[in-house]
Structure 1
Amino acid sequence: MDWLEGLKGGAPAVFGALIGSLVGFGTLVIGALFNAKLSRDRDDRLRKVEVRGVAAALRAELSSIDETLTDNAQRLRDKPPTNSESFLLPDLSHSVRMFPALSSKLGGLDDPLVIQEIIQIYIVIDQYYENCLLLGGQPRPEMPNERRLLLMPSNSADHVATMNFDIAVRVKNGVGLLNKYLY
């Protein structure tokens, strides 16, 4: 410390300014690093909230579709239409509201197998109407476009019930995959 006291002229002021600048710069760097960590933590929390919201919305939609499929299939098995009767069947794709709005956020689910299965489930749901047409279903033109119904022949009831149960199993599997993001 004797050398510091021996400094003459403007040297002590320059040395003091240098030490003060180094301490200030170090404090700024530490503050910036701390702020970056806080920002990363906040972004991680927001990302988790968004993923939970996407998973919850898709889970709710798929649960509703599962219920529709299971109810329709059970009704066809419990009381099949007679040979002279036909029955009405809703187009499942009109029950899909959340998936188109949330499809861009599926990447947040961070598991490619879950994302793939959810997309495949929605593809099966989208193909449901065409499968029913192949089974002899006739569109009901008097119905408004928002709610398409098919008039199905009675001889397709067992096949439709089996198809509904099979799709419901796949949908339940998708709901189970989404549960890991909620609990």
Structure 2
Amino acid sequence: MTSIDNITLEVADLAAAERFYADAFGLGAELRLRASQEPTTGFRGFTLSLIVSQPADVRALFDSAIEAGATTLKPVAKSMWGHGGVVQAPDGTIWKVATPAKKDTGPATRRIDNIVLLLGATDVAASKRCYLDRGFTVAKSFGRMYVEFDGGEGPIKLALYRRRALAKDAGVSPDGSGSHRIAIGGAAEPFTDPDGFAWETTSTADLP
């Protein structure tokens, strides 16, 4: 497989995480949760982005996440490329809510158009080679800084970003150690990439 079927977040408090994600984002089968007590500190090396259609949708999802218990890392703001804000869920996962749109075109909704998993790579070129060797194809590439892969029919897009740049974009220190607390579903055979991100096989029975 060369696409992501689902993301599994490993959380310390499973019941609390289930409540948060139901209230904050209302994500479906693309997001899974499982209990874990693996040690982890600081930046876990990845972020998840929710791409929406207009600024009002950014604010709606951002506000619902804060009301559900998330912490603001970057408040919603306008930039050259659109609007966006960053929050950290109670389980520690960093979420960015963003849109390339400059203006609203209708009432606010909580509809999510795309999900992007950004993996912080120590060496973007080496990680890119790992994924190319496994059949992924590049959709966009900016040297040794950023690579976005063709997501195929999967519900989640994959991109690589230099680790320090990704942490800066999220508004956190790049320092961190221990478990990434994430598993990526969609590999034909399980593997671990150069930065320690684990891919798991998704069986037909697992798909919605």
Which band: TM-score by shorter chain? under 0.3
In terms of fraction of residues, the more helix-rich structure is 1
Tell me which of the two structures has the higher relative contact order, counting C-alpha pairs closer than 8 angstroms and 6 or more residues apart: 1
- TM-score of the pair, normalised by structure 2: 0.22
**Structure exhibiting the larger radius of gyration computed from Cα positions:** 1
